[in-house]
């Protein structure tokens, strides 16, 4: 319990700091910020608050359910293993035998593993929401997928096709 408690608080502190720093930087901009606009920042901020929310925001419901379920299972397993470790420590504290301490130590290590797994899922969730939103914007704006220089055909309808040279800096 004692080792797990410090790690849980450490992970929680990092999450809270990120949740405070990111919106502060977004709100410090000189323009008003639109949280409904589908951008990588908005999607990752939502996923930082709740796993899967950024994927739902990006329109990727299946991935949202997967991240939400995986994080819930990992956190639930960490809580259950922590409870088992507390119980094992109580047994060890009463009898003081090495096999009871080994059981307690194994349960704490398993609980820590699930905490690390939950943190990895959460971080992966935020990264996926960020990069998925970037890909969705590229698909919605085909102009951004064109090369910076070169000739390409632009069709406005079936009757008008233009040859355009594009050069951007």
Rounded Cα distance, 60 and 104, in Å? 41
| β partners of residue 161 | 155
Element spanning 167, H or E: strand 161-167
Q: Where are the alpha helices (DSSP H) in 50-97?
A: 53-57, 61-95
Biggest CA-to-CA distance, the chain: 88
Q: How far is CA 67 from CA 15, 17, 39, 117, in A?
A: 17, 22, 19, 12
For range 68-76, the mean pLDDT: 95
pLDDT digits (tens, 9 = 90+) for 87-97: 888 888 888 88
Write out the two tokens for 11: 């992970």
pLDDT digits (tens, 9 = 90+) for 107-143: 999 999 999 999 999 999 998 988 888 666 555 545 5
Helix axes 61-95, 2-27, angle to 10 degrees: 150
More confident residue, 6 or 91: 91
The reported pLDDT for the residue numbered 20 is 56
For the chain, which residues make up each domain, given as ranges?
A: 2-167
Write out the two tokens for 116: 């690390």
Contact indicator for 33, 27 with CB cutoff of 8 Å: yes
pLDDT digits (tens, 9 = 90+) for 74-91: 999 999 999 998 888 888
- Check whether 169 has a pLDDT greater than 90: no
pLDDT digits (tens, 9 = 90+) for 16-59: 666 655 555 555 555 556 677 778 888 888 999 999 999 999 88
124 CB-near residues (< 8 Å, 6+ apart) = 67
């Amino acid at each position: 319990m004692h080792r797990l408690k410090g790690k849980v608080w450490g992970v929680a502190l990092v999450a809270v700091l990120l949740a405070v720093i990111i919106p502060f930087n977004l709100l410090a901009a000189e323009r008003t910020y639109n949280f409904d606009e589908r951008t990588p920042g908005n999607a990752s901020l939502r996923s930082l608050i709740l796993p899967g929310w950024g994927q739902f925001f990006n329109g990727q419901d299946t991935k949202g359910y997967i991240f939400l379920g995986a994080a819930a299972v990992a956190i639930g397993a960490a809580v259950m293993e922590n409870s088992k470790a507390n119980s094992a420590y109580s047994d060890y504290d009463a009898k003081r035998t090495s096999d009871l301490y080994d059981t307690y130590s194994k349960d704490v290590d398993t609980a820590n593993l699930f905490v690390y797994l939950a943190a990895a899922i959460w971080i992966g969730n935020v990264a996926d929401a960020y990069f998925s939103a970037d890909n969705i914007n590229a698909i919605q704006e085909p102009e951004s997928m064109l090369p910076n220089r070169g000739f390409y055909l632009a069709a406005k309808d079936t009757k008008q096709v233009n040859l355009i040279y594009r050069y951007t800096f």
